[in-house]
Amino acid sequence: MAHEVITSIQNPLVKRLNQLLDRKGREEQGRFLVEGAHLVEEALKSGAEVMTILYDNDRDMDPACRRAMANHPGDVHVVAASAAVLGKLSETKSPQGIVAEVTKIATDWADWVDKKMSADEDLLLLFLDEIQDPGNLGTILRTAEAASVDGVVLGKGSVDVYNGKVVRATMGALFRLPVFTGALPETAAQWRRNGGRLLVSSLQKDSIAYDEADYTKRTAIVIGNEGRGVCEDLMRQADQYVHIPIYGQAESLNAAVAAGIFVYEAQRKRKDQLR
């Protein structure tokens, strides 16, 4: 099947897609870019709204992406592009030969949580307070999805979840895990009014070790900013402070590592309760 061919970086489509490499462009267009065969395949298989795919005309399209596109419910504009065009749309040193334009995933927090609460589900959530490092956020989302966390709320002031490095670090988890952005203090207050508990990662003197905490029923674990930790507004709402003991000389753990330890311990406790 012949596809449109674009070889110039001055092409209007290329210029528009290039704007998606910046947060402002993503916010204005409501779309983002994913790069690489694995992520494009995951976007297609997840049912995400994939608008455009550009692949390297000299390499042809990855077979797995071609199969996933054949099963995708929507119409996808497919373009065979030159290496120069793909380089213009890439944030990596070595462009991976395929890029997709995807519509941002729109899920309303209030509607989502109301439905979950109405179904009386025992949710496990992560609240992330101003996570700044794209690699940290992507790794946290990947780990959360692997641990079957129900959803993640990303506080205002955090790195953009559609930042290219974040998207690549999720390894496709972004397409399977509900992720919301909002003002965390207000979200936490709503959560607690609906019977949810808030476990805040902190070294306060009354903090308990992560493996002593109760993660059953409706529980949200709060992970703080890499530098300052959890903000005061969230600290005041904590039902329990929890921490991960440090046995060596390090002052603290990386935020993504800490989140992984918490969510896997939470799932271990929740599984033990079902036995």
What's the whole-number mean pLDDT along residues 108-137?
Answer: 91
What's the whole-number mean pLDDT along residues 88-111?
Answer: 90
Residue 153 has pLDDT above 90, yes or no: yes
Domains in the chain, ordered, with CATH? Answer: 4-103 (3.30.1330.30), 109-274 (3.40.1280.10)
pTM of the model: 0.93
Residue 2 has pLDDT above 60, yes or no: no
- Residue 51's nearest CA partner among 25, 71, 79 is 79
Higher pLDDT, 107 or 208: 208
pLDDT tens digits along 159-191: 999 999 999 999 999 999 999 999 999 999 999
- Confidence (pLDDT) at 117: 85
Spatial separation of the C-alpha atoms in residues 259 and 207, rounded to whole Å: 16
Q: DSSP string spanning 15-81?
A: HHHHGGGSHHHHHHHTEEEEESHHHHHHHHHHT--EEEEEEETTT---HHHHHHHHT-SS--EEEEE
pLDDT tens digits along 43-69: 999 999 999 999 999 988 999 999 999
- Confidence (pLDDT) at 252: 85
Residue 1 has pLDDT above 70, yes or no: no
User: By the 8 A CB rule, do 188 and 55 touch?
Assistant: no
| Angstrom distances, CA of residue 75 to CA of 41, 47, 67, 70 | 15, 12, 14, 10
- Residue 14's nearest CA partner among 5, 23, 27 is 5
Q: Quick one: angle between helices 37-46 and 63-70, nearest 10?
A: 10
